[in-house]
Structure 1
Amino acid sequence: MKKKLLALFTIVALILGFQGFTALAKNNQSQKESSQPIAVQGAMDMEISALLKKMGEYKEETHGSYTFYRGKINGIPVIVSRTEVGMVHAAASTTLLIEKYHPKAIINQGTAGGHDPKLHVFDTVIGTEVMNIGRFITDHRDDGEGMKPESWKFDGTGMRENGELKTYETFKSDPKLVKAALSVADKYKHGKVVKGKVGSADVWNREVDRIQWFHEKAGTSVEEMEAASVGQVSKSYDVPYLSIRTVSNSEVSGDKIEDLETAGKYGAEFSVEIVKAIGKK
């Protein structure tokens, strides 16, 4: 009888111990997640200054050519990253960001040129997906036959996953982050907030026919020079990612203004509201 009771007590103790260990592990994981920063990127000073102002106090750190600012917004740990302009800068900066700061989410935001004629300066696009619109395959044409850009075909981005090569036409923003951004859309007072597709390349397009071609063939809402690189690196590290772009100029909407500084400020201020929404969850 005593042996049976001892065995029963042992089993109960093991069960309670396992439950306690599980609860402790969950608590440790929760604490780790709460201490992980939300990363917000901007390529230029004008795209991050409003974020730094909101943080107030922050620590500036530089790795290579890239600058990072550690602080808090409304008590939420935040790392602001100035990526610099361009696809290579964005990829390198994002890799450093993930390796050194381990963010739980990355918001890539800033200014963009409009592709959709319905979008006007200061409207903001929540990029549900991003695409490298600078990757093409062309048909063979002999010497003297000239160029035929309208025949160019978009080429996907190859990535190695578990030893297997996969091709991505686009990189999608995390649905939960998209939902968080949409939940605070009413706080943006400077134009429309819409879902759309962001195109990236190391080119600033001003030819109307070319812009219309991108919009028709690729379905792009706006263009800029970083988002697809950030989406690709985030995908490779399995870090949730969100693209936000505020229109600073458009060749196809009839707008006669171009204002990168104001668009950068408005986009960064809206990103603050998104950080708050993500932090609450």
Structure 2
Amino acid sequence: MIAVICAMESEAEHLRRRLDEAHESTPIDLIVSGIGLVNAAAATATLCVVERPGAIVNYGCAGAHRDDLGPGDVVLGDRVVHVSSQIVLPSGERKPMGFLFHVNEVRTETDAIATDPALLAVARHAVDGSALPPWPGETVAPRVVVGPIASADIWTQHGESIRTLHDLHGSLCEEMEAAAIAQVAAIHGVPFLAVKDISNNELRRATEATARGLPSLESLRPELGRRAALVVEAIVREWSSAGR
């Protein structure tokens, strides 16, 4: 069984519509965790204990960390970085702490959690030569790129801060669930992959704010996670055809 986790129902709808035709023999459990690291960790821990999936794929929308990544582009995460795990030194400098967890009483400290190599290979093969629908108002088909995904309960809009994160971690995008899902999956020994499509690029244009002064992607809701869902469908087909 493959478990697919996304944060919002609006993201899940894109895959749910196609789920019945996405595979031939591999059961799929589509889970909406809620937004943020705590919600994602709780959902993943329950999943791993109760169902013990063969793999976990997390998909949804993300903000770009590079100028050249535009709305609709898809990132296959080759690793996940927990960018809100840090120490603020007496000097005011922020030092990344990365991940700290125990598996069978063995302590693990790591700057990033790498994607399962076999699962990433399946994903690469699945998207090879694929064509995704352009973002509204765009004429060029979105790209699929591979690289690190930054994760935190933080929405970074400050351009210099985004560039600092990219320079430090090589991150292509940021989102709010993958670090938690990756860590819980690692603790339980379940292969994990994050697939994110770019919804906003604050380096190009600041996301519009609500009356409360908070950024909102509500007007883009029909597009959020749509292309990532298509990629996940292709991955599930590839996984199923390989008899996994």
Is TM more than 0.5 here? yes
Q: Please tell me whether Structure 1 or Structure 2 has the larger radius of gyration of its CA atoms.
A: 1
Q: Which residue of the partner structure matches residue 193 of structure 1?
A: 144
Matched, 1:54 2:15: no
Q: Which amino acid aligns with 2:119?
A: L
Q: Which amino acid aligns with 2:145?
A: V
Mark the runs of 5 or more structure 1 residues left unpaired by the alignment.
1-36, 58-71, 142-147
Q: Which residue of the partner structure matches residue 85 of structure 1?
A: 35
What is the DSSP-based 3-state SS (H/G/I as helix, E as strand, rest coil) of the residue aligned with 2:101? strand
1: CA distance between counterparts of 2:224 and 2:82?
22
Q: Which residue of the partner structure matches residue 125 of structure 1?
A: 75
What is the DSSP-based 3-state SS (H/G/I as helix, E as strand, rest coil) of the residue aligned with 2:149? strand
Q: CA deviation at 1:176?
A: 1.1
Q: Which residue of the partner structure matches residue 160 of structure 2?
A: 209
Q: Which one scores higher on RCO, CA 8 angstroms, separation ≥ 6?
A: 2
1: CA distance between counterparts of 2:45 and 2:206?
37
* Paired residues, number: 223
Mark the runs of 5 or more structure 2 residues left unpaired by the alignment.
134-141, 209-216
Q: Which residue of the partner structure matches residue 137 of structure 2?
A: none
Q: Which residue of the partner structure matches residue 95 of structure 2?
A: 153
Whichever structure has more helix as a proportion of its residues is 1
Q: Which residue of the partner structure matches residue 273 of structure 1?
A: 234
Q: Which residue of the partner structure matches residue 114 of structure 1?
A: 64
Q: Which amino acid aligns with 2:57?
A: I
1: CA distance between counterparts of 2:39 and 2:222?
20
Matched, 1:175 2:139: no
Q: CA deviation at 1:56?
A: 4.8
What is the DSSP-based 3-state SS (H/G/I as helix, E as strand, rest coil) of the residue aligned with 2:153? coil
What is the DSSP-based 3-state SS (H/G/I as helix, E as strand, rest coil) of the residue aligned with 1:199? strand
Deviations along 1:182-207, whole A, 9 cap, x unmatched? 11222242300010110110011111
**Of 186-195 and 85-94, the range deviating more from structure 2:** 186-195
Q: Which residue of the partner structure matches residue 19 of structure 1?
A: none
1: CA distance between counterparts of 2:36 and 2:163?
22
2: CA distance between counterparts of 1:161 and 1:76?
28
Aligned counterpart in structure 2 of residue 227 of structure 1, from 178, 184, 190: 178
Matched, 1:246 2:197: yes
2: CA distance between counterparts of 1:163 and 1:76?
33
Could you tell me whether the CA contact under 8 Å between 1:110 and 1:244 is conserved in 2?
Answer: yes
